[in-house]
Structure 1
Amino acid sequence: MERKILRRMPWVIFFGGLLIALPSIVVRLIDWDRNPLAAQALIERVDMFAFGTGMLFFNAVFAVTTGAVLIVLMKGPGYVADGYKLSDADSPRRVSERD
């Protein structure tokens, strides 16, 4: 699952960043008929919300990516959590014989 997450992260970052920046782009492209100061205030407000949302989004992406990388590193190249062979795996002894 962590490898799927790592493969999808570049697309998540690209499209997520684009989606967050889209309101700022749209607000700048609209021809405002009202007071230029009010239009500038609206543009700045939208930019502040986009910046805050972007910070939250990129921090969450960083945390998820860091967790996925750590899990991949902990599993190692064998893709297993615990690859040790048991000495009595074919014929386990009874609990009373182990003591």
Structure 2
Amino acid sequence: MVKRYITKISVLSLGKIMGIIYAILGLIFGIIMTLFSFTMGPMMYSQGTGGMLFGAGAIIALPIFYCVLGFLSGVITALVFNAVTGVIGGLELEVE
């Protein structure tokens, strides 16, 4: 086993990766919300269209919203990681 250290993470790289991961999660949650609103929406609203429109919009809105939040949290995480590793050293990994 060889020890290696991660001392810096590219800010934009981590932001893009986390943005895509969060967008995929947003799509999954959007699909679940859409299915829920199509089945439960007519029971919750008198006309039945309010829940269905909200649910259909979730497939588009949630992935975009989650992507932006994921990108921003990735950028902030990389900035904090780089600042901390500059002070206390890198993240130790064991590789073969």
TM-score using structure 1 length:
0.39
**Larger RCO, structures 1/2 (Cα 8 Å, 6+ apart):** 2
**Higher strand proportion, which one?**
2
Larger Rg over CA atoms: 1
**Higher helix proportion, which one?**
2
